[in-house]
Amino acid sequence: MLRPRRSVLYVPGDNERALEKTQALPADAIIIDLEDSVAPSNKEQARVQATEAIRRGGFGSREIILRVNPIETPWGMADLHAALAAEPHAILVPKVSQSGDITGTAKVVKASGAPSHIRLWAMIETPMGIINAREIAACGPDPDNRLSCFVLGTNDLLKESRARASNNRFAVVPWLAMTLVAARAYGLDVIDGVYNDFKDDAGFRAECEHGRTLGMDGKTLIHPSQVDPCNEVFSPTEDEVSWAHKIIHAFEQPENARKGVLTVEGRMVERLHLVMAQRVAAIAKAINARSKTEEPWF
């Protein structure tokens, strides 16, 4: 079944209270962070708290991702080994700038004998990561690399580029779009960056819509108040689901079995639209199933 990744909430690994709160929030996925949101003095404590929380469980059907520190930092390798022992659904590798950052991490994962269901996610957040997005995404098809998802780190990109986020992310859009097509070329999911001003509801919703329009699967979040509006924007609307079912129904008719193009309610519909409709229907079904269960998804 398709995995909805509409709302992906960060929580600092050393914030025990917030960690506990995530278990009652309707986010599709939780990224427990050991990197940017944890001060150097708290890194060891955060690692222990985060991995204990993952082992204890209680996150229901939410996907749990642990963001480790870069491997070359004093904490990176210990984070990775602790993550593998705790068995989150995925490990998020920060500041991925070349394919070797993924293949190198995947080798450590393989050598540890970690279960095959643990995936790697990659943060695309450096200028070199954008330039190399294609070669990084090309790690996807090799199952040994376990790569399944890109996460945009727009705060780091703004810092590195000296650009501004204003004017509908004018400066950021080329990076988002390049990362998105690279990911899609190799079958990966892509999650948009965060919106820092968590009290600005209208601005946040507009940025969700912006990401959805660009083709993002979901958005990374920093605050509980962002979860519901994000889920709403990244779910197919009732109209979209009903239109998808009309297209599927039309192509199911025996008289249309050998046709490549049809007219449905006065609009041209080709078989590529059928593929799109099947995806919308599958995502809607997965969202519906997800909202009805608190069972872990594996």
**Stretch of 6-14, 108-116, 122-130, 251-259 lying at the interface with ligand COA (CB under 6 A):** 6-14
Binding of residue 126 to ligand COA (CB under 6 A): no
CB of 33 to ligand COA, least distance (A): 5
Q: Least CB distance from residue 56 to ligand COA, whole Å?
A: 16
In which element (H, E) is residue 151 found? strand 147-152
User: Hey, what are 144's tokens?
Assistant: 């040994």
Cβ-based neighbours of 38, under 8 Å, separated by 6 or more: 12, 13, 14, 46
Task: Give the shortest CB-203-to-ligand COA separation in angstroms.
Answer: 15
Cβ atoms of 177 and 218 closer than 8 Å: no
Residue 209, SS3?
Answer: helix
By a kind-dependent CB cut-off of 5 to 8 A, residue 224 interacts, out of Mg ion, ligand COA, none, with: ligand COA
Instruction: Tell whether the torsion through CA atoms of 125, 17, 71 and 120 is positive or negative.
Output: negative
Near ligand COA by CB under 6 A: residue from 223, 245, 246, 285: 223
Closest CA to 94 of 65, 71, 118: 71
Q: Which does 114 bind (CB under 5 to 8 A by kind): Mg ion, ligand COA, none?
A: none
* Single residue of 16, 36, 160, 270 touching Mg ion by CB under 5 A: 36
Q: Exposed (0-12), middle (13-18) or buried (19+): which is 295, by Cβ within 10 Å? A: exposed
- Regarding 10 and contact with ligand COA (CB under 6 A), the answer is yes
Nearer to ligand COA, 205 or 223 (CB): 223
Residue among 194 and 262 whose Cβ is closer to ligand COA: 194
The answer to whether 36 contacts ligand COA (rule: CB under 6 A) is yes
Intra-chain end-to-end CA distance of the chain, in Å: 12
**CB 247 within 8 Å of CB 264:** yes
In the list ligand COA, Mg ion, none, the entry touching 26 (Cβ below 5 to 8 angstroms by class) is none
Binding ligand COA (rule: CB under 6 A), the pick from 224, 236, 270, 286 is 224
DSSP 72-137: TSTTHHHHHHHHHHH--SEEEESS--SHHHHHHHHHHHHHTT--TT-EEEEEE-SHHHHHTHHHHH
Q: Does 21 bind ligand COA (CB under 6 A)?
A: yes
Residue 50 binds ligand COA, judged by CB under 6 A: no
Q: Which residues lie near Mg ion (CB under 5 A)?
A: 36, 125, 153, 156
Q: Which residues lie near ligand COA (CB under 6 A)?
A: 9-12, 17-18, 21-22, 33, 36-37, 194, 222-224
